[in-house]
Amino acid sequence: MRPPTHILVVNGIKVRRPVFVLAAPHSGADLLARALKRSPGFHVTMGRAAVAHVVHAFARRPSITRRGLGATRVLRDAMAESWQILPGACRECPEPCREAGGVTGTGPCAAPDTVARFGDASPDLLYSAPVLLQAFPDARFVQLIRDGRDVAADMLTDPAALSWFRPAMLSDEAEFPNAFLGVNSAENVDRWKAMSTAGKCALRWRGAVRLSAELRRELPAEQLLTLRYEDVAASPGETADALSRFLETRVSRIGLYGRSAPKVGAWRTRLRSEDAALVEKVARQELARLGYR
């Protein structure tokens, strides 16, 4: 049962129908965030510390999210802090957020009198989706799906992503199933620790897309839009139009033409043959279900 509706007010603005971008690592969430940040009326944040700490706590210990309204309040308060529009606020934003907003100074990247919609595209926000829905019952969710082999290729060159694969991540206090790392039970911990990094990347992608599939079953079409990264990269204009219809407001096309956007199918030259084979073995079922051949 959902808690009573709570109207959050940030900088004198009522938060209505906030937009949350959900995806596995390196699946294009930053590209959509850039488009939203550069659209009229939007104030979208990415990876602010207040949100990142809460999101990763929930991802690593899912039981926290089932402790009544406490988790809902914590996440709502973290979003409110992240969305504050204050002088110098952008100094606290990570570089991807600053770049997406075109910020060159101290900011802020938005003016209160121009903001009508709030949003967030922080990494690993996917694992907090149920709590976000409790905190913001009228929220709109946009999730991206990308070929797990391309995701693995990008993760293997990202120190931040690889830092989650330390053996200590699955200590005696770890909870299972662990969707964040893609480990289903405690019996599989030793296998996970012995697995190559490419295999761990595949497990993490597999766990994320399974959560995405659950959201598609649970949320109505008016609240959830699922996009393929490959379609976004091939047809940015059509993607912007689809987002505009879904969010009932104009979304910038310019922001989707990211020069640094990862290329589709690059895994064929970036992954070693043995790594590609392992990723395909670990994620075979999900790759096939999603049409990645």
**Distance in angstroms (rounded) separating the CA atoms of residues 252 and 239:** 10
C-alpha dihedral, 41 to 47 to 51 to 53, nearest 10°: 180
Q: State the first-to-last Cα distance of the chain, in angstroms, to the nearest integer.
A: 40
Whether the full predicted model's pTM is greater than 0.85, yes or no, is yes
Within the chain, strands assigned E span 9-10, 13-14, 19-23, 42-45, 117-120, 140-145, 224-228
- CA 77 vs. chain centroid, Å, equals 19
106 pLDDT band, cuts 50/70/90, is low
Task: Kindly tell me if the per-residue pLDDT of 110 is higher than 50.
Answer: yes
Q: For the chain, what are the domain ranges?
A: 7-146+220-261, 147-219+263-293
Per-residue pLDDT, 68 = 66
Quickly name the fold that domain 7-146+220-261 has: Rossmann fold (3.40.50)
Model confidence over 147-192: pLDDT tens digits? 999 999 999 999 999 999 998 888 877 899 999 999 999 999 999 9
Model confidence over 246-279: pLDDT tens digits? 999 999 888 888 656 778 999 999 999 999 999 9
**Distance in angstroms (rounded) separating the CA atoms of residues 147 and 126:** 17
Per-residue pLDDT, 260 = 64
- CA 115 vs. chain centroid, Å, equals 22
